[in-house]
Amino acid sequence: MKIRYLAILYIIVLVVTGAFLYRRIEDREVYDIDMLALNTEAYEISQELSAGTAPEALEDKYDCKIVLCSEAQYESENNQFIKEGYSVFDYVKDGTISGKIAFAARNEEYISRENNEKRILLTILSAVLLLGLGILFVVWYFFVRPFNDLKVFAEHVSKGNLDLPLKMRKHNYFGAFTESFDRMREELKKASEREIEASRSKKELVAELSHDIKTPVATIQATCEVMEVKYKDKDPDILEKVEVIKAKASSVDHLIDNMFKATLDELEELKVEQTEESSKILSDIISELRFYGTVEQKTEVPECLIYADRLRLEQVIDNIAGNSFKYAGTPLEIEFHSDMDNLHVIFMDRGPGVPEEEIPLLTSKFYRGSLASGKDGSGLGLYLAAIFMERMGGGLEVRNREGGGFVVEIVLKKV
């Protein structure tokens, strides 16, 4: 049972008990009992007065007032007794009323005593109530509350929230118990982080291998196409083998696409390790683009230090070049421009360009433009390129070229 329910039940029991005792005090017939005692005392006083005892002595003995009929102030004294609420009895001697015996109004005394008893009862009940509630509070504070904390803690752990620590209270009798649970949370968190990291590493490895393998496969396919043209009318045997290689390369390409798409939802988690690099790495990366097709480098690479991840930068440039040769089919022109903060690398083709309304969508995941119809692709090249450039501290922009063609510009941040 919860502590608050115990507290409510405890209060109800005390209230019922207090009401019962209060009623008993009110219902006591103390006045009737008092009148019997006063009658007895009045009789005794009458006997002693008849025996000759002085009224003054009896007044001191019985705490009363006596007035005899023979006294001059009899009438006024008697009236005063009645006015002040005294209990007045007749003093009878030899069958004749010879005076009055007056007692102070005991009814008021008993009413006062009754009220005093009620106050004492209420004081005791209040003290018992406070003491009981205090005990319940101590039980809740030192025993129940720690278990409530453990309950909330267990709920968070069950939901996978391992960042919320279990509070350690100074006067907690279950401190060691609580500390053990919090250590368990820390170990679970570490294990969960290791599991997440291992899973992410596997996905990154699959994504990296899938994407990187596509470049040599594309080179094999391009080489096969060149050999098909070269040996078309010369050596049927070689031509047949080239066709087999080309078909197998196409199969591998499809398998890579399947493996690649299995990790698409986590691609944005691919790591980018940004380091300081010489801008000359761009010359090495661009020199490898000759396997795709004709590359025309219009300007020299400015010498400077840039922030980059070489592996990711190679992927970005491979994606841009691959798209250019696939969709435009023209030589790829490359220019370099340098300003105070950034190095700009501009890739331009001489193809038909892209409809203006599609340009903002080209860096979206899975988006493929209207000109991509009938051509292989997953719609991830520029999407990944934009993510990688952003994580290297730079950026990527796409636009149509004046006079015809398409432009992709990457921005590398200088050191």
291 and 151 in a single domain? The answer is no
Task: Tell me whether residue 215 is in a domain.
Answer: no
The mean per-residue pLDDT over the stretch 155-178 comes to 60
Of 126, 161, 196, the domain-final residue: 161
Q: How confident is the model at residue 31 (pLDDT cuts 50, 70, 90)?
A: very low
In this predicted model, what pLDDT tens digit does every residue of 18-30 receive, in sequence order? 788 777 776 665 4
290 and 150 in a single domain? The answer is no
The mean per-residue pLDDT over the stretch 42-58 comes to 87
Task: Tell me whether residue 111 is in a domain.
Answer: yes
Structure tokens at 271: 């790591």
Task: Tell me whether residue 40 is in a domain.
Answer: yes
More confident residue, 84 or 353: 353
What local confidence, expressed as pLDDT, does residue 347 receive?
94
Task: Tell me whether residue 203 is in a domain.
Answer: no
153 and 18 in a single domain? The answer is yes
Task: Tell me whether residue 172 is in a domain.
Answer: no
156 and 276 in a single domain? The answer is no
Task: Tell me whether residue 39 is in a domain.
Answer: yes
The mean per-residue pLDDT over the stretch 123-129 comes to 85
139 and 20 in a single domain? The answer is yes
Instruction: Choose the weakest-confidence range: 36-40, 213-217, 261-265.
Output: 261-265
The mean per-residue pLDDT over the stretch 283-298 comes to 82
Check whether 107 has a pLDDT greater than 60: no
**Residue pair 203/264 in contact by the 8 Å Cβ criterion:** no
Q: Residue 207: CA atoms inside 13 Å, Cβ hemisphere, count?
A: 22
Whole-Å CA distances, 363 to 40, 133, 384, 408: 115, 67, 8, 11
The mean per-residue pLDDT over the stretch 276-304 comes to 86
Of 161, 180, 197, the domain-final residue: 161
Domain count, the chain: 2
What local confidence, expressed as pLDDT, does residue 30 receive?
47
283 and 154 in a single domain? The answer is no
What local confidence, expressed as pLDDT, does residue 33 receive?
46
What local confidence, expressed as pLDDT, does residue 132 receive?
81
The mean per-residue pLDDT over the stretch 7-12 comes to 81
Task: Tell me whether residue 289 is in a domain.
Answer: yes
What local confidence, expressed as pLDDT, does residue 87 receive?
80
The mean per-residue pLDDT over the stretch 315-341 comes to 88
What local confidence, expressed as pLDDT, does residue 28 receive?
61
- Residue 358 sits in a domain whose CATH number is 3.30.565.10
Task: Tell me whether residue 224 is in a domain.
Answer: no
In this predicted model, what pLDDT tens digit does every residue of 348-372 receive, in sequence order? 999 888 888 888 888 887 777 777 6
Of 95, 130, 161, the domain-final residue: 161
What percent of the chain is predicted at pLDDT more than 70? 72
Check whether 147 has a pLDDT greater than 70: no
Q: How confident is the model at residue 377 (pLDDT cuts 50, 70, 90)?
A: low
Whole-Å CA distances, 6 to 122, 139, 140: 21, 11, 11
Check whether 146 has a pLDDT greater than 60: yes
Check whether 315 has a pLDDT greater than 90: no
More confident residue, 123 or 370: 123
Check whether 321 has a pLDDT greater than 70: yes
What local confidence, expressed as pLDDT, does residue 155 receive?
65
283 and 405 in a single domain? The answer is yes
Instruction: Report the mean per-residue pLDDT for the chain.
Output: 78
- Per the structure, the complete domain to which residue 304 belongs is given by 272-415
What percent of the chain is predicted at pLDDT more than 90? 12
Instruction: Choose the weakest-confidence range: 51-60, 105-114, 391-400.
Output: 105-114
